[in-house]
Amino acid sequence: MYALIIDDSRAMRRILSKIVMPLGLEVVEAENGQDGLDRLEEMEPPEVILVDWNMPVMNGLDFVKTVRADGRYANQKIMMVTTETEPAQMVRALMAGVDEFAMKPFTADVLVEKMKLIGVRLPNPVSSNE
Amino acid sequence: MDLKQRNKWLLYLNTHSWQDHLFWAGREIEREQMIVDVPTMDQIISNVFDEMLCMPTSPSDSGLECSVVGRIVASIRITGAMEKLIVVEAPMATASLIGETMFDAEHDTLPEEEIRDAVGEIVNMIGGNVKGMCEGESTLSLPCVSVENSELSIPDGGEQTIVNVAGSPILVRWHDMPVATV
């Protein structure tokens, strides 16, 4: 079972991986939306996609729109992990098909609880970070 | 929205679902333009370092030495309803410490590229939180990170705060800045 983590910051990908891996998910990383689409084609459907909004090449919003336009990923769990907090931006992302938000900065507990909230299956739901 | 309300809003965002976000935002939050003063910025910095990275922050008594050379400078622009330039400056030792924490790396093992990436993400988080204080729509640029070896030069105008992160100083400054002058 996999998590796909898409963020242009390697540091942020590492932080997210450190939270997700103890939950029993293997991590596949991508550095922008286009890279995320390429990874998604290569891998089995992930349990969850954690995607940043502001990235070069392809941003997170366009990534989500592209994924949702593909019928294979109709039930894919997608969480935006972002600094975007304005209600107008949230509406835009929700209309594109995002399931949930976590705002940077976040804690491990917040991220885990939000994944549980949207029904992400976690092999080891008690994080070692707790 | 004062600082207390702002912190309540941030806490709410990360402890409730998106349906609640929008309900709360629509009913209770008056998203007026908030002044980004030093206490507000100190709180944002604390949210990033204390809460997320578990790196304790404290006010700096001594400041950032003007003779410090070899430092990481990361900046990000907010354009739109809010026009600001936000800059994070960290001596290389502080930047390394931040990078080692974010990458979970051993001391003195992190390449400069990773250190720059880490400080870039710090200014991204700070900038994003500042942008979130604005009522109208604004856009956050991608961070720009460089290594500076010249003496620290703080331009006139704008505001700044110096905070110790795990005992090492960083400087955060912010300016109202129309896009054309950046």
Q: What's the CATH code of the domain at A107?
A: 3.40.50.2300
CB–CB of A15 and B114 under 8 A?
A: no
Specify whether the CB–CB gap between A22 and A54 falls below 8 A. no
Q: Is B150 on the interface with A (CB under 8 A)?
A: no
Cis peptide before B39 (omega within 30 of 0): no
Q: Is B15 on the interface with A (CB under 8 A)?
A: yes
Q: Is A7 exposed, middle or buried (0-12, 13-18, 19+ CB in 10 A)?
A: buried
Q: Is B142 on the interface with A (CB under 8 A)?
A: yes
Please count the structural domains in chain B.
2
Specify whether the CB–CB gap between B87 and B122 falls below 8 A. no
Q: Is A84 on the interface with B (CB under 8 A)?
A: yes
Question: What values do phi and psi take at B38, rounded to 5?
Answer: -65, -45
Q: Do B46 and B12 lie in a common domain?
A: no
Interface pTM, i.e. ipTM: 0.89
Q: Searching chain A, which residue's CA lies closest to the CA of residue B102?
A: A11
Q: β-pairing, A100-103 with A78-82?
A: parallel
Domain ranges, residue B17: 1-32
Q: Is B62 on the interface with A (CB under 8 A)?
A: no
**Measured in whole angstroms, how far is the alpha carbon of residue A34 from the centre of its chain?**
14
Q: Is B125 on the interface with A (CB under 8 A)?
A: yes
Per-residue pLDDT of chain B (182 residues; tens, 9 = 90+): 555 666 666 666 676 666 565 555 554 445 555 688 899 999 999 999 999 999 999 988 766 665 556 889 999 999 988 889 999 999 999 999 999 999 999 998 999 999 999 999 999 999 999 998 877 788 999 999 988 766 555 555 689 999 999 888 999 999 987 544 44
Per-residue burial over B5-38, b = 16 or more CB atoms within 10 Å of its CB, e = otherwise = ebeebbebbbeeebeebeebbeeebebeebebee
User: What DSSP element (H or E) covers A125?
Assistant: none
Contacts of B132 in chain A (CB under 8 A): 83-86
Q: Do B47 and B72 lie in a common domain?
A: yes
Domain ranges, residue A104: 2-117
Full-model pTM = 0.86
CB–CB of B124 and A86 under 8 A?
A: no
CB–CB of B117 and A86 under 8 A?
A: no
Residue A130 covered by a domain: no
